[in-house]
Each structure stands twice: as structure tokens, then as C-alpha cells.
Amino acid sequence: MKLDILVIAVHPDDAELCCSGTILKHIALGKKVGIVDLTRGELGTRGTAETRDEEAADSAKILGLHIRENLRLRDGFFQNDEFHRLEVIKAIRKYQPEIILSNALEDRHPDHGRAGDLVYDSVFLSGLPKIETSIDGIKQEAHRPRLLLQFIQDRYLKPDIIVDISDHMDKKIESIQAFKTQFYNPDVEGQQTYISSPEFFESVIGRSREFGKSIGATFGEGFTSRKLLGVDNLFDLR
């Protein structure tokens, strides 16, 4: 299936926290959107790989994703090396997206920045025909998306672009809450963590309010770009 937007996120729930409003908005516009999670988040203090699988599937239904798959790389121990780049290249060539959204290039969790660099390098390499990949014995065609954006995660980064998600904030929250073992839920027992506190959940909503306010909207999601972004004309700008 060819996708318009592919989100490549290192942990199940990264996409929900950072860009689910953008996902919902573009699906509502008729675009095909999917998520490829790199790991199962098996090192998370709360829950298990199996519960994260179930929660990711529940969230995919809420978001209306066209596909969601997991590459099952080792949480915490994957590297930006040849093996892992080839795995990401295969996913990019499989879905041939026009746009990729991926992890922040710098963040509190070391997996986020490492994944951001891994995807950045893989996007470039995916466009080189001399790098040969195949799935089930079928050779893949080279493909390079026209745009790669990194979402903003725990640490504040100044965004290069902000998407108005005001009409989709309720569903964004619902998709995050699908991860019952990870985020604040008084009905779920377990060791409290940085992300399971009610304060963390409120900070996610507050960040969306802050970005929305910056563009005259109620809620927004911010992204960074390693390349300059252009528009056809100045009237496309808000």
C-alpha cells in the first residue's frame, strides 16, 4: 500500500503523544497514513511488550490508520548502523510515502534522538538504487520521500512548522489514553513513572495549547526540519 504520510516512531505511543492530531487531520482530508513502530517498548517500566502491542492496536483503530506494523528492533539497544538502516529502508520502500514524520533529533530519552538520526540517514539512503533490498524475495524500488519532519517530544525545541489540530484534540487525547499502562490512569496499578503522572499528561495538552496559540489556533503540533521549507505563495502562510 502506498501511503501519503508514514510515521516512523521508536516506541509505541510516541506518535500518539507527538503527532496524532496531524495524523487525524490528514486522514480526515482523505490521505493515507500509517505508523511503523521500531520497537515494542519492552523496556518500559510499566506494562509489557504484549500489552503495548494491544494498546497500539487499540490506538490504531481510534486514529483510523491504514497500516500499523512493528519492526521489533531491540528497545534501548538498536543502533544507527547498516543492519538497522536497511530495516528502515525496507519499510520506507514498502510504503513509498511522500512525507515521513519521525522522532525528535534531541530529547530526554536517548532512543528518541538515536531513532531520529537513524530515520534521517535511512530516508536519504532509501533513494539510492545501488542499495538493493527485497521483501519475500521481491526486489524493492528505490524511493526517497520529498519531506521529512521530526516531531517535538519531551524537551522543548523551537518548531519550524506548526500544524493546527484544534478539531482533532479530543481524538488525540483518546489515542494517548489507549495506552492504559503507560499514562495516568487511576484504575491501573503499577510503579509510578515520569510519564504516568497526571502532571505529564497535562504537560502534553499544555504543549499543544502553546503551539496552537503561536499560530492563532486552539491546539497545534510542532515539527522541526533539517532543510528549509518553502511555500508556493505567501498567502499559504498563516
11-34 pLDDT, tens digit each: 999 999 999 999 999 999 999 999
Predicted pLDDT at 228: 96
Contacts of 6 (CB under 8 A, 6+ apart): 33, 34, 35, 36, 91, 92, 95, 97, 99, 100, 101, 145
Q: Distance of CA 208 to CAs 41, 72, 170, Å?
A: 24, 30, 12
39-86 pLDDT, tens digit each: 999 999 999 999 999 999 999 999 999 999 999 999 999 999 999 999
In a domain, 234, yes or no: no
Predicted pLDDT at 187: 82
Mapped onto helix, strand or coil, the DSSP state of residue 209 is helix
- Asked if 133 contacts 90 with a C-beta cutoff of 8 angstroms, the reply is yes
36 closest CA partner among 137, 132, 158, 123: 123
- Got the DSSP string for 105-150? SS-SSHHHHHHHHHHHHHHHHHT-TTS--EETTEEPPP---SEEEE
Please tell me the chain's helix, strand, coil percentages from 3-state DSSP, rounded to the nearest 5.
40, 15, 45
In a domain, 114, yes or no: yes
Q: Distance of CA 194 to CAs 74, 76, 109, 197, 217, Å?
A: 22, 17, 11, 6, 29
Mean residue pLDDT across the chain: 96
In a domain, 233, yes or no: no
* Predicted confidence band of residue 176 (pLDDT cuts 50, 70, 90): very high
Predicted pLDDT at 96: 98
Query: Structural domain of residue 85, as residue ranges?
Result: 5-227
Kindly tell me the burial class for residue 86, based on how many C-beta atoms sit within 10 Å of its own C-beta (0-12, 13-18, 19 or more): middle
Q: Distance of CA 131 to CAs 23, 115, 116, 124, 125, Å?
A: 30, 20, 21, 11, 7
Predicted pLDDT at 104: 97
Tallying the residues shown for the chain, one arrives at 238
Question: What is the domain-level CATH number for residue 48?
Answer: 3.40.50.10320
In a domain, 215, yes or no: yes
Domain count along the chain: 1
Total-model pTM: 0.96
In a domain, 236, yes or no: no
* Predicted confidence band of residue 190 (pLDDT cuts 50, 70, 90): confident
Average of per-residue pLDDT across 131-139: 97
* Predicted confidence band of residue 186 (pLDDT cuts 50, 70, 90): confident
